[in-house]
Amino acid sequence: MFLESSPVTTWSEEVSRPQVHPTAYIHHTAVIIGDVHIEKNVIICPGVVLRADEGSPIIIREGSNIQDGVIMHCLQGSSIEIGPRCSIAHGAVVHGPCVIGDETFVGFNAVVHAASLGEKCFVSHCALVTGVQLPGRVMVTAGKMLQSQEEVALLPEAGEEEKKFHNKVLSINEELRRGYKNINHLQVHHLDHQARIKRAVWDGIEGKEALTVG
């Protein structure tokens, strides 16, 4: 993973560094910059960019999954908050100011900008949601451009099918997070074991040399 502090700028004299909970998994190709807070049991997948160097903070709440190629960035003076147990799917763009409520799903290549989404919403693939406030439990259909509150009033409720789909996504990503964390733990243990062996061998060689010299 690439973690970098935000720079000092004319709008911010503070240097902020990402804060990552030890239970979170972040893929090594992800880029996390500035005032980003990643809470427990979050998974950040390959190619994700979370950039809080202009606006900040970006907060990813507990148990959420941020999938491959997702981009998050904020306008100056704004922030992003992703609620607990959310899924931001492959290639989505979330641009602050933005609040996404608990257990909400944002689909493949969807764009959410300057918007507030309530809990358990379902934003389908390739949808555009900008400049609006969504109540909880509504669905934005695939490819829809949602840009006014009048359109929001006509949205259907997210049904059982969407709920089951999102629950499955959450379950799979939680299992992946645990699996990747376990792999990392085993790799660290293996490297530590190898280092101990090398130290023991080196100590043995030095001991023999000392005896020879003596």
The average pLDDT across 201-213 equals: 54
The average pLDDT across 94-123 equals: 99
How is domain 2-163 classified at the CATH fold level? UDP N-Acetylglucosamine Acyltransferase; domain 1 (2.160.10)
pLDDT digits (tens, 9 = 90+) for 52-95: 999 899 999 999 999 999 999 999 999 999 999 999 999 999 99
| Structural domain boundaries in the chain | 2-163
Catalytic, out of 4, 39, 54, 209:
54
CA pair distance 152, 145, nearest whole angstrom: 11
Verify cis geometry, omega within 30 degrees of 0, for the bond prior to 97: yes
pLDDT tops 60 at residue 189: no
The mean pLDDT value of the chain amounts to 91
**Residue 207 DSSP label:** H
The residues with which 34 forms a beta bridge, in sequence order, are: 52
pLDDT digits (tens, 9 = 90+) for 116-162: 999 999 999 999 999 999 999 999 999 999 999 999 999 999 999 99
Contact 158, 141 (CB under 8 A): no
Strand 25-26: give its sheet, edge to edge.
25-26, 43-44, 65-66, 87-88, 105-106, 122-123, 139-140
Q: Is 54 a catalytic residue?
A: yes
pLDDT digits (tens, 9 = 90+) for 3-58: 999 999 998 888 999 999 999 999 999 999 999 999 999 999 999 999 999 989 99
- What's the CA angle centered on 165, arms 157 and 86, to 5 degrees? 80
